[in-house]
Amino acid sequence: MEVVLNGTVANVDKEMNLWEFLLSKELNLETIIVEHNEVIVKKQEWKTIILQDKDRLEVLKFVGGG
């Protein structure tokens, strides 16, 4: 199955939810927001969304600074 992550195709070998996928990409889950198929998803929903072939994800990271 292929998922598009920030414009790049990522292969997913097994069924997994959004939370598992984000962990597999070694992202800091405390500092990101996620858009799934053009809809911003709340963190409490990440474990309920099962990824499907051709899903589109955009992940934005918060960066501190001044």
Q: Under the phi-then-psi rule, with left for phi > 0, alpha for psi from -120 to 50, and beta for the rest, what region is 39?
A: beta
Q: Does residue 49 fall inside a structural domain?
A: yes
Query: 11-20, pLDDT tens digit by residue?
Result: 999 999 999 9
Q: Does residue 13 fall inside a structural domain?
A: yes
Please list the ranges in the chain whose pLDDT falls under 50: none
- Res 66: pLDDT: 62
Q: Does residue 27 fall inside a structural domain?
A: yes
Q: Does residue 10 fall inside a structural domain?
A: yes
Q: Does residue 8 fall inside a structural domain?
A: yes
Q: Does residue 31 fall inside a structural domain?
A: yes
* Boundaries of domain holding 40: 2-61
Q: Give the domain CATH number at 38.
A: 3.10.20.30
- Res 22: pLDDT: 97
Q: CA-to-CA distance for 10 and 23, rounded, in angstroms? A: 14
Domains: count for the chain = 1
